[in-house]
Structure 1
Amino acid sequence: MKTAGFFLSAALLLSACASPSPSPDAQLNSRIKQDIARTAGIGNASGINVESSRGVVVLTGFLETEQQRQDAAQAALKVSGVQQVFNNIQVFKPTSSGQ
């Protein structure tokens, strides 16, 4: 009987310590970021911030060309669960440091 109580207590303790699963919005943000990073011509998506709420996505950050900006929005729109994309990404081509 004591052994059963020990295992029950241990199971309850472990379930209480388990980290909560990410919210649906956080999961969606992650999938969008991954798909943008896999899109040809965009390269590293670290310059793009993704925020979503109930399928509405806001993209912010910087990319070097208008085509990259448009491709990022299209990649986000293709992700399952995305209903609308607001593309607030800015086009900014860095200047060389030698000038």
Structure 2
Amino acid sequence: MLTLQIPDPIYQRLVNTANATGRSLEEVMLHALKVGSPPDWDNVPDEFKADLAALDRLEDEALWKIATAQKTLEEMTRYRDTACCGTNWYSNSSEQSSSAIPYLNRD
């Protein structure tokens, strides 16, 4: 058993959600914890763990900026060509995929 102090506005939002959806308060709270908790690192391939850990530390505003960023056709083509293991999908030439990361995150 765990005792947790929840601020009244958050508690009331959870109660209202439970009432509106016909679910128990416990079910609503467990769902909120599940979707809001850190990722399950057991299923993440090693090559993505560092990037995901960096994203996990960002504030919501920074994540929203990344998620809603618009890229040009040239930028997306470069991403496509470097996304698979740092290798251009259409040729045998190799390019480091890490060089594309700053390019994609550029404002």
Is TM (by shorter chain) over 0.5?
no
TM category (shorter chain) comes to 0.3 to 0.5
Bigger fraction of residues in strand: 1
State the TM-score, normalized to the length of structure 2.
0.30
Ranked by relative contact order (alpha carbons within 8 Å, sequence separation 6 or more), the top structure is 1
State the TM-score, normalized to the length of structure 1.
0.32
